Amino acid sequence: MTRPTILINFAISADGKISTVNRNPSQFTSAHDHKRLLEIRKQADALLVGRGTLEADNMSMTIPADMQPRRQPLRCIASRSGKFDSEHKVFRTPGGALHLLVTEPAEVNEFGPLEALGAAIHLCSLEDFLRILVIEHGVKTLLCEGGGTLVRSLASLEAIDEVHLTWAGHTLFGGENAPTITGELSSHLPASIQFELTHFEPLENGECFLSYRKAPPDS
């Protein structure tokens, strides 16, 4: 499968959840964690989020100018239905070129035609989209910032190379249906994917930065 190197980044609660059962916005970690996210963003040629995360976290998907990015990464958003609201902040904020993946376009879209969004529209599968990013847009490194539904699709394709987590020991969300980094716990991946720990950095504030790299096949 032709695809970029794919990194994912999440903050997780002490009980391994990325949000509450009500999918509240993810603002439960420190400014230090946010700075680390921006540093990881600087490594990426493209950012990718699911529409759920874009909306829950009201994202603009940019790197602030004072962090002196070499350039703004492409901003990629995945949706099955293609129901993007043109009033959303991401369409109103300057930044990297917008690329929208729509896998199962809705017959009726109350938000109007996708072409009016000022973005490149890709009507294809997630797998094909990843290939197009490499071949047509030179994307070598892609950072997926969630959510769990989208990351589960990446995991099903075995398309995750690095996992960056901020483990927040100060927060418990609980709730069987609160999502994890691969979505709800009700269904499992067909097989485990092995990762090895590459970075372990406990902070004084009850958080811990963790990084993992996909383990070689026969390890």
Ligand X SMILES: NC(=O)c1ccc[n+]([C@@H]2O[C@H](COP(=O)([O-])OP(=O)(O)OC[C@H]3O[C@@H](n4cnc5c(N)ncnc54)[C@H](OP(=O)(O)O)[C@@H]3O)[C@@H](O)[C@H]2O)c1
Binding residues (CB under 6 A) for ligand X: these are 10-11, 18-19, 23-26, 49-53, 56-57, 78-81, 83, 101, 103, 126, 145-150, 153, 179, 183
The answer to whether 97 and 120 have CB atoms below 8 angstroms apart is yes
Measured from the CB atom, the residue of 62 and 79 that comes closer to ligand X is: 79
What is the closest distance, in whole angstroms, from the C-beta atom of residue 187 to ligand X in the complex?
13
What is the closest distance, in whole angstroms, from the C-beta atom of residue 13 to ligand X in the complex?
8
Measured from the CB atom, the residue of 71 and 124 that comes closer to ligand X is: 124
Measured from the CB atom, the residue of 83 and 213 that comes closer to ligand X is: 83
Cα separation, 17 vs 25, in Å, equals 13
Vertex 167 angle, CA 10 and 181, to 5°:
35
Partnered with residue 165 across adjacent β-strands are 10, 210
Question: End-to-end alpha-carbon separation of the chain, Å?
Answer: 21
What is the closest distance, in whole angstroms, from the C-beta atom of residue 51 to ligand X in the complex?
4
What is the closest distance, in whole angstroms, from the C-beta atom of residue 17 to ligand X in the complex?
8
Q: Which segments within 69-152 are labelled E, that is strand?
A: 74-79, 98-102, 120-123, 141-144
- Local structure of 48: helix, strand or coil: strand
What is the closest distance, in whole angstroms, from the C-beta atom of residue 7 to ligand X in the complex?
13
The answer to whether 145 and 53 have CB atoms below 8 angstroms apart is yes
Measured from the CB atom, the residue of 101 and 133 that comes closer to ligand X is: 101
Measured from the CB atom, the residue of 71 and 188 that comes closer to ligand X is: 188
Vertex 124 angle, CA 123 and 125, to 5°:
145
Measured from the CB atom, the residue of 97 and 124 that comes closer to ligand X is: 124
The answer to whether 165 and 210 have CB atoms below 8 angstroms apart is yes
